[in-house]
């Protein structure tokens, strides 16, 4: 190979190497720009302010939720208040009529006393009258009173008819009491068993 040929060959190799180095340098300078473009694109995609929710919509939703919760709270409070009132009434009723069974037992004893009072033995009657008055006094202190029946008309709310007797009295009038009735405060403790007048045929 001649000297001139070697010189040409060396020059060609230098040009190729120079071109290669230039390409690498250009790649180094352009790569960050591409990365920056990709990062910028991602940042734009992830931007929370891209589709912002209108402030008025958020306020309206919160107001609606508050109104719903407040309405629920008011309804629960009203229901609880009604429950307390019912519980109080039930408790008062239980206390008010707690001695009802006891009163019924006492009344049965009174029935026997009243039958004995019809005895012809005067001494026995005097003693029984005192005991009878004592029983009535005890019942009265506990809110229990005998029904006032004389001169009244039959009322199924208070009376139980055990007989219908033709009489000169107005039809439906009570003409006899077989078993007296009793009230415990404003409640019927025992219905009175009575005979009721009907028209004579």
Residue spans per domain, the chain:
100-198
Exposed, middle or buried: residue 149 (CB in 10 Å: 0-12, 13-18, 19+)? Answer: middle
3 state SS of 1: coil
pLDDT score, position 194: 96
Q: Is the pTM of this model over 0.85?
A: no
pLDDT score, position 150: 83
pLDDT score, position 192: 96
Question: What are φ and ψ of residue 190, in 5° steps?
Answer: -150, 130
Angle between helices 122-141 and 100-116 (to 10 degrees): 160
pLDDT score, position 102: 76
Rounded Cα distance, 11 and 18, in Å: 11
Rounded Cα distance, 142 and 19, in Å: 123
Q: Is the pLDDT reported for residue 52 higher than 70?
A: no
Fold of the domain spanning 100-198? Nucleotide Exchange Factor Grpe; Chain A, domain 2 (2.30.22)
Rounded Cα distance, 184 and 186, in Å: 6
pLDDT score, position 36: 47
Identify which of 183, 173, 182, 178 has the alpha carbon closest to the alpha carbon of residue 193.
178
User: Across the chain, what does the average pLDDT equal?
Assistant: 77
84 vs 124: which has the higher pLDDT: 84
Rounded Cα distance, 114 and 126, in Å: 12
Q: Is the pLDDT reported for residue 191 higher than 60?
A: yes
pLDDT score, position 195: 95
Around 85, how many Cα atoms within 13 Å sit in the side-chain half-sphere?
6
pLDDT tens digits, 31-47: 444 444 445 454 455 55
Rounded Cα distance, 35 and 185, in Å: 96
Helices (H), the chain: 3-45, 55-96, 100-116, 122-141
Task: Give the mean model confidence (pLDDT) for residues 102-114.
Answer: 78
């Amino acid at each position: 190979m001649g000297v001139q040929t070697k010189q040409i060959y060396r020059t060609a190799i230098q040009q190729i190497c120079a071109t290669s180095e230039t390409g690498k340098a250009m790649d180094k300078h352009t790569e960050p720009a591409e990365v920056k473009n990709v990062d910028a694109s991602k940042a734009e995609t992830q931007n929370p302010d891209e589709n912002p929710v209108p402030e008025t919509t958020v306020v309206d939703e919160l107001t609606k939720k508050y109104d719903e919760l407040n309405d629920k709270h008011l309804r629960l409070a009203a229901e609880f208040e009604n429950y307390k009132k019912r519980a109080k009434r039930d408790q008062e009723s239980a206390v008010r009529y707690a001695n009802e069974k006891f009163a019924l037992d006492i009344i049965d004893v009174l029935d026997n006393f009243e039958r004995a009072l019809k005895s012809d033995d005067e001494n026995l009657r005097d003693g029984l009258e005192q005991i009878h008055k004592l029983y009535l006094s005890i019942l009265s202190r506990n809110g229990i009173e005998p029904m006032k029946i004389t001169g009244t008309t039959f009322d199924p709310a208070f009376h139980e008819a055990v007989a219908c007797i033709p009489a000169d009295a107005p039809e439906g009038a009570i003409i006899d009491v077989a078993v007296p009735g009793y009230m415990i405060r404003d409640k019927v403790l025992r219905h009175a068993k009575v005979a009721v007048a009907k028209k004579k045929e």
